[in-house]
Amino acid sequence: MPYEIKRDYINFGNSRSGQDLADVQFIVSHDTGNPGSSAYANRNYFENVDPVASAHTFIDDNNILEIIPLDEKAWHVRYNVGTDNRIYGEDANDAAIGVELAYGGSINFDEAYKRYVWYHAYLVDKYDLDPSEDIIAHSTLDPSRRTDPQNALNRHGISWSDFINDVERAYDQLQGNEEGSESVVRGSSVNLPLDIGDGGSLVREVQQDLIKAGFSLPIYGVDGQYGPETQRAVLKFQREYGLLVDGLVGPQTLNKLKEVVSSSKRIDDFPLPDVTLRRGDNGSEVKQLQRALKEINFDPKLIDGIYGPLTEDAVRRFQSMYAALANDGIYGPNTRRYIQMELDD
């Protein structure tokens, strides 16, 4: 079925340079890496914080949202990674569309995935590409640092080959059908600063990040409404990190909050045991591994210090994301190294 493509472009700045994108030669598939963050929450982040990074399109269970025109460059793959040049003869930022899948939290994965697959098929048709040759995972281009989009897909039992097969089927269905509708959307975004009375996905994301950073919201939690409880948490956060204490979430507060959350997964907080562990083992070292797996979203369900079938399954799911790892459910030196990379990312 066709889906609506919304276009709500961010302003020119670090995230959107306005530089022309040459002929589109391939598509880079990503996931946002931030569970629960919607398409519009990501758009608001790139609009208001304006980091030197971006992607063309963000997709969740409700929206296919283009935030940068497809004929302009987006900064979605590091320039000093040479895999894209070896495969395609071009840097991804100069010759590829970057597509991000939003997942986790309250996002309905099945609906988001359908739109993600369909949009890839739409781009394949639009730019006369070959799904099996011209769609590449971010993890393939930058394997030492990135695990997307398998990070999101594997959690739902979808392999990379499954995804490509789904795109090929959607492309076949797309032939001779409508390509979907396109609309320019205005007024759906939330402008900074956030203040009492504001609501929506960006407020919800700020609340999630406040909790991750250690500033609790015990009464209302993540409700998407910027009320007095959220304001008090913001005031505490601003005092803690030497910001202007005004209770408003402007670009500086939002940027610092993202920085704190992204740096919170330290190996000191989740120390990894330097031994080999397998099913049947138990003790404090197994518990350390379980806590680290939970932190990187491969939840073993029980933090009980027992290396049982649930922990083994969590290790296998993690290993399946990396071709360099044996999918044996055993925690050894190689698996430890890749888990640490994920914690440090």
Q: Which of 283, 327, 324, 291 is nearest to 307 (CA)?
A: 283
| Residue 191 belongs to a domain | no
- 124 and 58 assigned to the same domain: yes
The residue that leads in pLDDT, 163 or 189, is 163
Cα torsion angle, 53, 32, 201, 270, sign: negative
| Residue 216 belongs to a domain | yes
pLDDT band of 268, cuts 50, 70, 90: very low
Coil vs helix vs strand at 66: strand
Whether this model's pTM surpasses 0.75: no
Contact call for residues 236 and 249 (beta carbons, < 8 A): no
Q: Tell me the average pLDDT across 80-103.
A: 93
| Residue 10 belongs to a domain | yes
* pLDDT tens, position by position, 295-335: 887 878 888 889 999 999 999 988 887 878 888 999 999 99
The residue that leads in pLDDT, 45 or 264, is 45
Does residue 267 carry a pLDDT above 60? Answer: no
Q: Poorest-confidence range of 31-45, 260-274, 291-305?
A: 260-274
Cα torsion angle, 100, 105, 107, 110, sign: positive
Q: What CA–CA distances, in Å, run from 24 to 19, 65, 73, 158, 330?
A: 14, 19, 10, 27, 42
State the residue range of the domain holding 21: 5-184
Work out the widest C-alpha separation in the chain, in whole angstroms: 60
Q: Tell me the average pLDDT across 227-247.
A: 94
Name the phi and psi angles at 337, rounded to 5: -60, -40
* pLDDT tens, position by position, 109-167: 989 999 999 999 999 999 999 999 999 999 999 988 888 998 888 878 787 888 998 99
| Residue 267 belongs to a domain | no
The residue that leads in pLDDT, 105 or 163, is 163
Specify the pairing of strand 182-184 against strand 64-66. Answer: unpaired
| Residue 275 belongs to a domain | no
- 177 and 325 assigned to the same domain: no
* CATH code, domain carrying 308: 1.10.101.10
- 98 and 228 assigned to the same domain: no
pLDDT more than 90, % of the chain: 50
* CA–CA distance, 37 with 108 (Å, rounded to integer): 12
Does residue 259 carry a pLDDT above 90? Answer: no
- 120 and 59 assigned to the same domain: yes
Contacts of 11 (CB under 8 A, 6+ apart): 47
Under DSSP, the state recorded for 154 is: G
- 13 and 160 assigned to the same domain: yes
| Residue 278 belongs to a domain | no
Number of domains the chain contains: 3
Coil vs helix vs strand at 61: coil
- 127 and 238 assigned to the same domain: no
* CATH code, domain carrying 99: 3.40.80.10
Asked if the peptide bond before residue 228 counts as cis, ω within 30 degrees of 0, the response is: no
